[in-house]
Amino acid sequence: DIVVTQSPDSLAVSLGERATINCKSSQSILYSSNNKNYLAWYQQKPGQPPKLLIYWASTRESGVPDRFSGSGSGRDFTLTISSLQAEDAAIYYCQQYYTTPLYSFGQGTKLEIK
């Protein structure tokens, strides 16, 4: 089984500043045949279902603001919010789908506004 671990568990960032969330998988989730990293990122606000932000580690979902970006390869990945807005306060999750059709999520990172 692939275990996905996020860091930090929580962070507080000032408005307009950069926020960075990390995700590390227990083994590489880069599929050599297509050179794609099998990782997605989600945002979840209280009382709401998760919202897809990014898939293939760096492809932004339609309608997601370009201040959200994903990077990384192999085992180490990062979600960056370039200029934090008040509405970005949420819990963020990464998800690996390398072991498709079985999946696993990271434990979540709570992002607060400082």
- C-beta of 8: minimal distance to other proteins in Å? 14
101 is a site residue for other proteins (CB under 8 A): yes
Residue 53 backbone class (left: φ over 0; alpha: ψ -120 to 50; beta: rest): alpha
Using the rule CB under 8 A, is 106 a contact of other proteins?
Answer: yes
Q: How far is CA 39 from CA 47, 85, 86, 88, 92, in A?
A: 24, 24, 26, 20, 13
Smallest distance, Å, CB 106 to other proteins? 7
Tell me how many residues contact other proteins (CB under 8 A): 23
8 A C-beta contact, residue 60 and residue 43: no
Q: Summarize as ranges the residues that interact with other proteins (CB under 8 A).
A: 38, 40, 42, 44, 48-52, 55, 61, 93, 95, 97, 100-108
